[in-house]
Structure 1
Amino acid sequence: MKDRQWIGKEAAWKDEIIAAVLLLAFAFFINRGIEIKGLYMDDLYLWSCYGEQSFREYVFPLGSTRFRFVFNLISWLELMIAGNHIGWFVPINILVNVCIAYTVYRFGKRLSGRWTMGFLTGILYLLSRMSYYQISQVYGLMETLALWAAIGILYCLYRYITEEPAKKALIPCSVALYFAICFIHERYMVLLPLFYVAFLMKKERKLVPWISTTLAFAAVQVIRFFTIGSISPAGTGGTTVAETFKITGVLKYAVSQILYIFGINAGPEHLSGLSWDASPAWIRVLVMVSGLMLAIMTLIFLAVVIKEKKDRKIRLKVIGLFLLFIALCIGSSSVTIRVETRWIYVSMTAAWLFAAYMCGVTVPKKELNANLSKPLLYCGLFVLYGLIMFPVESFYRGKYENLYYWSNQLRYNSLAEETYGNYKDKLFGKKIYIIGNTYKMSDFTANTFFKTFDKKRTAEGTEVTFIDSMGSIGLITPNMLILREDPAHNAFQDITDFVRNLKFERVYGCYEDGWLDENAKARIMAGNEGKITFKFYYPGVITGMEHIIVTVNGSEQRVIPIDASTVMAEFDVAPSQVSEFTFESNFFYDAATEQRGEDRLSVVADITAN
């Protein structure tokens, strides 16, 4: 008997390890191509607060419009772990999401009574296009943590109403999760009625659960009032819920969220990736077929609930708990000025878990060996639903580029690649010139963006300047970096070498360190003022006989006597035009240890164009 128990436990552990590894592999596979190489907007502001504020100020921001100290604490840890490794944020986000997927798998396994259905719910969770924000933004951690806590509350209350007797720790755990989720995202304060309904379902006569839940809610409101001066939750885009709340808007957004749950993109392209009307016919057909699968599953499930009177009461309680949870989550996401797909992720996850529960009710595990046709028919519908939704979700994932923030993330990923990605720490201290500013980069972004790559968090000496054209700057010096915007590809291009060669073309006898041979030629572009200045430096012994004949554009000649170690000469040429200069020296530097061209090294020239 003991040997059998040990073998059973070993097999169970193997199942858990296999599930975790498969979920991990699938998570990285389905999110391939998503990258954070540069921070901007909310993510950059979050990083800035982390670096400039003390731990207390960052985690407990008094006087702010939001007080999310639980999220702030976890994000502080994430930022500390990532440091200046910006590319780590996506893998970290994926790993956290895998932990939730494993939680969903375990919950689905409990609800359905079988490994396969639980694993399918975990896969569907990872596959969902609604995970875009959680993976592609540092701030996505907030949505991830809130979803995890919300599912945790549902899990605890499900066990509370279905187990007899219920474990004593379930209510304290659920109350603690509720208190925490209110300080991850205040939207989930709306889950309070879920507790009271669960208590009524359980016919809870003890006062402790009722009082503890009420006190947790009251504590949340008191803390919010003293930290932000209000108990009204903030809305989206700088609005407040109290100001933007409209019944018609709530109903409209609630309906759109229900449609989303059934696979229909009911929102505009910039929020959903691709609207339902713009979706190809084959996608709409697949979504309709998947909806038919769910409808058949629901009808069979309801028939079983009605037929089996013995367990009807407890099953109705579970149905009520799940539907109320989904309704509250939908309601909390419908009271602001718009609905973003990421807000529906919690409701969607609960819907998949409910589908796993329907499988468990319709096909109890004890019937697996007695009648294989029933589980294959019913659970097969859920598997078929997952197979149908795989191409649908994959297709919509390919439309992330249409999301309102995606193009900006691509731009700043490109900016990071073209700068720190190519130059590493040599970037710091450079003057970065960007031709054009159609991307409308803010001063905050320009001043802060490159600090994220520096271990010292300063990027000392690095400056960003926007210019209209190449003519706005003179010759390219080693501490300059020239970029141009590429709006067609939401990118930046490093054109430093191109501009350097265009403004100073070394025909022969000219070298990057400034040395000129006895005979040299260069083509130099003048600036807006049409003045080119030469600063000649001769490190050898001066006899008074040394001179350089400078010929401009093959006609104008000028003799420059080298009667000192440093000699200046200025030429007036056509503004913003390329002029050709030839240099003929009647001397050379006899102490030179090398000869780079056909002639010997003569003098060092520092050339500027204004």
Structure 2
Amino acid sequence: MTEKHFMDGIGKWKDEIIAAGLLMAFAFFINRGIEIKGLYMDDLYLWSCYGEQTFGQFIFPLGSTRFRFLYYLAAWLELAVIGNHIGWFVPVNIILNGCIAYSVYRFGKRLSRSYLMGLGCGFLYLLSRMSYYQIGQVYGLMESLALWAALGILYCLLRYVDEKGDGRKYLIRSCVLYFAVCFIHERYLALLPLIYLALLYKKGKKKAGWFLPAGVFAVVMAIRVLTTGGVAPAGTGGTNVADTFNIMTSLRYAVDQVLYIFGVNAGPGHLSGASWAESPSWIHVQIIAADLALLVLVILAVIRLIRDKEGRRKALRDISLFLVFIALCIGASSVTIRVETRWIYVSMTAAYLLAACLYGMITAKPEHGKVVDIKREVRKAADKKAGRQSAVLCGGLFLVYIIIMAPVENYYRGQYHNLYFWADQQRYNSLAEETYEKYGDDIFGRKIYIIGNSYQMSDFTARTFFKEFDRDRKAEGTEVYFIDSIHDIGLITNNMLVLKEDPAHNAFQDVTDFVRNLKCEAVYGYYRDGWMDESAEVRIMTGSSGVIKLEIYYPGALTGSEISTISLNGEPVRDLVINQNTMKLELEAEPNQIASLRFDNNFYLKDAGEQRGEKRFSMIVNFTAD
């Protein structure tokens, strides 16, 4: 290897490292603010299965409506690494999608033969509003891996048809990826025709090549029959595609997805963040302008196809592979009861790469043969100049598209709070903040009372939520109760936590201290740990019975002359002789009222180690009022 080749290699690696670094940094920047602090619904159920099932049961859920063993294997590894560090899920998702963005960059760079075009594709992938699920949910790992594998199939098939040799290795790789993606998400079963289209273009004469995809598909179907009992994929929301499929609805959903690719949020706000009708007018203008830039790029590509007879066949072949890939992905996402934006992410990414393909086609150098003559040399010089001009024009159009769409994508990212699951994720993030983040392991073993249940927390969530923070996955003694008001509980003890729903902010509030002080307010001379001075006053909120129970403990030697005079609402009710170290007493007051208790003690603890107020410690008193 010469020094020049060595330095060229170093320069290329520098470019790759810079690209990877920029994309990864942008991935973290654009997804800042997205957090998973607490799991719920599907994510929590997945976590609970990981803890309660054996490795084999988790990876191979026989009898389930879905059999995604490759995804479950990846999920098992992720859950094993993350453990009880729930906040790590989002960084892991971001890193994974940063890697996918780098793959998109490499793919786009190869198609366009342009470093900047490839980088633009990678940035657009990360910028897309459609990434919300892949970043913000544990199940986003499934969507990310499926998208990556699907794009891998497209890449291998493009290499297969463009290779001058038989390209067999790329056909085999595409079939391996097809098998894999079918067991990450069954939606991608629909990509089988794409492999046969590539075989048709390649005009392969070997029968093995034609039988290979069919064999893989047959194996996939056989495994599905054995594990799920059928071949039809399950729909979303617990439905079955065979039961809910409607041709007109599917066509409408397909059109909606095409509109999504061109920037138009055709679906309702709870699925897209903000529908086209809900979006401001400046968004409409921006999207139309961006689509016009794409239209000019397409027109330039058509002109090039008309002029370049020699390269036309290859270009049409590659473009058709992209279009069929997008069509199959759209079709697979249109057959269930709704279209979620996250399902269009793979089609959107393929559309970005198609733009890179068009750029590469427009700026490609025409073939002039090897014979040298003056006319040919003049034509080559003219073509070279035209190529530079085309590169500048097409690159400029793509840059304009990115500049126009960046604020649009950013706007729609700001509407994530309208998505159907976002509010619930915020609520359980808040629940984690107000409990485990605040109290740490001290939360385990507590009784957690939640005022109200407008969030409709399920029994499963109430039983399981706090286990995810425990290294032993048990959270023993931690119990969740729902109450209508603070009157439903007695005085607050150290093993209790009281939360209040805050629907306006999709949050929970820790009101333990507030309720504790309201239920048992120390006016003077009484402390939270139960110590009482020689004189003290306490306000107690009584329960439905009005009975106030006192447990008194004097940790010293008694002489028999120790007397505590107790007044209720200003009236003396008892001169209690402290003749035992531990005594119990009941006082009757009006129910559901604030009762004022005053204590005047003629004794104090002589060997007390501290003094907190003007008077000295006399005894320990614990109150309950059910």
TM range (shorter): over 0.9
Residues 1:204 and 2:220 aligned together: no
Residues 1:145 and 2:145 aligned together: yes
Q: Determine if contact 2:565/2:576 at 8 Å carries over to the other structure.
A: yes
Alignment of structure 1 residues 183-582 onto 2, 5 Å: 183-364=183-364, 372-582=388-598
Which stretch shows the higher mean deviation, 29-38 or 573-582? 573-582
Q: Determine if contact 1:517/1:597 at 8 Å carries over to the other structure.
A: yes
Cα deviation digits, residues 272-311 of structure 1 (max 9, x gap): 0000011101000000011111111101101101211001
Residues 1:67 and 2:70 aligned together: no
Q: Determine if contact 1:71/1:183 at 8 Å carries over to the other structure.
A: yes
Matched to 2:431, the amino acid is: L
CA distance in structure 1 between the partners assigned to 2:35 and 2:28 by the alignment:
12
User: Across the two proteins, how many residue pairs are aligned to each other?
Assistant: 610
Q: CA deviation at 1:529?
A: 1.2
Cα deviation digits, residues 468-523 of structure 1 (max 9, x gap): 10111111101110000000000000000111111111111111221111111111
RMSD: 1.2
Q: CA deviation at 1:96?
A: 0.5
CA distance in structure 2 between the partners assigned to 1:417 and 1:441 by the alignment:
17
Matched to 1:216, the amino acid is: V
Matched to 2:581, the amino acid is: S
Q: Determine if contact 1:117/1:356 at 8 Å carries over to the other structure.
A: yes
CA distance in structure 1 between the partners assigned to 2:527 and 2:285 by the alignment:
66
Q: Determine if contact 2:363/2:388 at 8 Å carries over to the other structure.
A: no
CA distance in structure 2 between the partners assigned to 1:337 and 1:560 by the alignment:
72
Give SS of 1:265's match: coil
Q: Determine if contact 2:330/2:344 at 8 Å carries over to the other structure.
A: yes
Which stretch shows the higher mean deviation, 579-588 or 54-63? 579-588
Matched to 1:351, the amino acid is: A
Q: CA deviation at 1:187?
A: 0.7
Any gaps of 5 or more consecutive residues in structure 1?
none
CA distance in structure 2 between the partners assigned to 1:371 and 1:89 by the alignment:
46
Give SS of 1:178's match: helix
Matched to 1:58, the amino acid is: F
Any gaps of 5 or more consecutive residues in structure 2?
367-382
Alignment of structure 1 residues 579-590 onto 2, 5 Å: 579-590=595-606
Give SS of 2:548's match: strand
CA distance in structure 1 between the partners assigned to 2:623 and 2:517 by the alignment:
14
Q: Determine if contact 2:364/2:387 at 8 Å carries over to the other structure.
A: no
Cα distance change of structure 1 residues 493 and 147 upon mapping to structure 2, 3 Å threshold = same
CA distance in structure 1 between the partners assigned to 2:519 and 2:384 by the alignment:
79
Q: Determine if contact 2:27/2:126 at 8 Å carries over to the other structure.
A: yes
Cα deviation digits, residues 203-245 of structure 1 (max 9, x gap): 0111222111111000000000001101110001111110111
Matched to 2:190, the amino acid is: V
Give SS of 1:439's match: coil
CA distance in structure 2 between the partners assigned to 1:2 and 1:545 by the alignment:
104
Give SS of 1:311's match: helix
Matched to 2:235, the amino acid is: G
Q: Determine if contact 2:363/2:387 at 8 Å carries over to the other structure.
A: no
Alignment of structure 1 residues 30-45 onto 2, 5 Å: 30-45=30-45
CA distance in structure 2 between the partners assigned to 1:419 and 1:284 by the alignment:
43
Which residue number corresponds to residue 109 of structure 1? 109
Q: Determine if contact 2:161/2:167 at 8 Å carries over to the other structure.
A: no
CA distance in structure 2 between the partners assigned to 1:438 and 1:486 by the alignment:
10
Q: Determine if contact 1:113/1:365 at 8 Å carries over to the other structure.
A: no
Cα deviation digits, residues 37-65 of structure 1 (max 9, x gap): 00000000000000000000000000111
TM-score of the aligned structures, taking structure 2 as reference length: 0.96
CA distance in structure 2 between the partners assigned to 1:279 and 1:456 by the alignment:
47
Residues 1:598 and 2:614 aligned together: yes
Q: Determine if contact 1:535/1:607 at 8 Å carries over to the other structure.
A: yes
Give SS of 1:576's match: coil
Residues 1:25 and 2:41 aligned together: no
Q: CA deviation at 1:374?
A: 2.3
CA distance in structure 2 between the partners assigned to 1:222 and 1:54 by the alignment:
24
CA distance in structure 1 between the partners assigned to 2:472 and 2:583 by the alignment:
41
CA distance in structure 2 between the partners assigned to 1:507 and 1:599 by the alignment:
14
Alignment of structure 1 residues 148-187 onto 2, 5 Å: 148-187=148-187
CA distance in structure 2 between the partners assigned to 1:548 and 1:478 by the alignment:
26
Matched to 1:37, the amino acid is: K
Q: CA deviation at 1:4?
A: 1.8
Cα distance change of structure 1 residues 306 and 201 upon mapping to structure 2, 3 Å threshold = same
